[in-house]
Amino acid sequence: MAYPLIIFGAGASHDYSPLGKLAPLTKELVENQFLYEDLLEKYRGAANVLADLIQRVKQGNKTFEQELTAMKERTKDSKQMRAHFSALEFYLRDLFKKISNEHLKHIPRDIFLKMRQANNYKRILNRIDTYTAGRACVITFNYDSLFENNLYKAPIIMNDYIANDLKIIKVHGSHDWVYIKRSSSMRFHESEAKNSFEWCLENPDFLDELRTDGRPIHEQELQRNNTKSDFADFPAIAIPLIGKDSYICPESHIQILTQVLPKIDRVLVIGWRAGDPLLLDILKSHLQEMGYTIMVVSDTLDGAHKIGATIKTALGIDKSYITAIGGGFSDFMANETSETFFAQ
């Protein structure tokens, strides 16, 4: 029986539905429709970072990730700028929570509700259920929960992502994952004026320390156990930087991924630019020597070929095993190719 590996990048959630575009590509985080004034006001400091990127990214000389990485490096000795980067994490968490669960300002509510019912993640799940009896491994770089929202039972604890035949590995975290710390250990309580965000403004290295020592959990675990009032919670996402050497998701998820990869017999890449060296190293180390095919779906055929070339070089495989598909996620799902990939 087929055992596909499916890798979703930002382009997959961007082309979420044939009814319209939803989530931003990374470069679109500086576009007006994705700059939410209420969130920028709430998480003061995020605007300082984004304001410095708007023109640079729109000029197109460097990617959002390149500009953000360069900015973080040149400002690393400034406590105030490190606080602004902490604010960006809170901002992005809430932005993608809004994208996952709410009507966005540039999309009419009736269209948004229709998109939730008619979307490409549902169509992918149909292919998995039809041809692989629900068995697949999905790696997603997206902070949103648009894919999980279409599951029969969405995850509510971290083990849910890897407990079933459909494994979901969210390598850069998720808007609904949190790091937690007992409020008493931080010398403040919910009844006081301070909150998690204000704590990070005063302690801008705290989020990095949490990533080093902590383990993210699903926010519903706090709610289900009625312990939220005892804890302060913090975002568990990895802002889009180049050269990240670790992942946000639990180590147990990566261990499951390495166990599953030798069984994979086909790879589908949708909207991912193959720009994560750490994942490419994992794939090279654990995918079977050969005997699998790779299909790359991007918005343009030229883009798909370039991504395929990057994967070929990183994995050291023959280019003949890679098929490039242009037109984006929606066109791919409307094409017979999306059936034959799973069925063959």
Euclidean distance between CA atoms 29 and 24, whole angstroms: 6
- Residue 225 pLDDT greater than 70, yes or no: no
Domain 4-21+112-172+246-343 has CATH 3.40.50.1220: yes
pLDDT, mean over the chain = 90
- Residue 134 pLDDT greater than 90, yes or no: yes
Euclidean distance between CA atoms 155 and 10, whole angstroms: 21
Q: How far is CA 307 from CA 24, 300, 322, 325, in A?
A: 19, 11, 10, 11
Say whether 321 sits in a helix, a strand or coil.
helix
Contact 325, 332 (CB under 8 A): yes
pLDDT in tens, 163-186: 999 999 999 999 999 998 876 656
Task: Give the pLDDT of residue 227.
Answer: 56
- Residue 304 pLDDT greater than 80, yes or no: yes
Q: How many CB atoms lie within 10 A of CB 133?
A: 11
Q: Which H or E run includes 39?
A: helix 37-42
249: left (phi over 0), alpha (psi -120 to 50) or beta: beta
- Residue 25 pLDDT greater than 50, yes or no: yes
Task: Give the pLDDT of residue 193.
Answer: 42
Q: Where are the domains of the chain?
A: 4-21+112-172+246-343, 26-106, 174-237
Position with higher pLDDT, 67 vs 288: 67
- Residue 297 pLDDT greater than 70, yes or no: yes
The tokens describing 158, both together, are 């971290």
- Mean pLDDT to the nearest integer, 296-314: 96
- pTM, whole model, 2 decimals? 0.94
Task: Give the pLDDT of residue 229.
Answer: 61
CA 106 from chain center: how many Å?
21
Confidence of residue 191 (pLDDT cuts 50, 70, 90): very low
- Residue 74 pLDDT greater than 80, yes or no: yes
Q: List strands edge to edge, sheet with 136-140.
A: 166-170, 136-140, 4-8, 266-270, 293-297, 322-325
